[in-house]
Amino acid sequence: MNTQIATEAGRRRVRRSARSLAVLAIGPVTVIAGLAWAFAQPYRLTLLHPLEQGFWWLFVEPPLWAIVAGLLFQALVAPGVVTDLEEEES
């Protein structure tokens, strides 16, 4: 067995379309936006100073929800959408 052939077979790269790359970028961009929001407005993160705050005030923090939404989109939605886009293109 020739090792050059084996390494070339392992290096196959999938070319993705611009639409697929855009869908794959939505999750990370949302997470980065949530982090930027958290740093720009740290007073919104009441977990940093939870004095006299109820559960719902601590639970509903928009920057953290933006980060969670980006992570969930990347893990649950994006793979299926990219698969559909690749099937449509072939």
Q: What is the pLDDT of residues 54-87, one digit of tens each?
A: 777 767 788 889 999 999 999 999 999 999 999 9
| Structure confidence at residue 9 as a pLDDT band (50, 70, 90) | low
Q: Which residue has the tokens 């980006």?
A: 70
In a domain, 69, yes or no: yes
Q: Which domain covers residue 43, as residue numbers? A: 17-89
In a domain, 1, yes or no: no
DSSP 8-state assignment for residue 34: H
Q: Is the pLDDT of residue 23 over 90?
A: yes
Query: How many other CB atoms sit within 10 Å of the CB of residue 86?
Result: 14
Query: How many other CB atoms sit within 10 Å of the CB of residue 29?
Result: 13
What is the number of structural domains in the chain? 1
Give the mean pLDDT of the chain: 83
Tell me the HSE value of 86 on the side-chain side, using a 13 A CA sphere. Answer: 13
In a domain, 45, yes or no: yes
* Cβ-contact 58, 44 below 8 angstroms: no
Confidence at residue 49, expressed as pLDDT on a 0 to 100 scale: 65
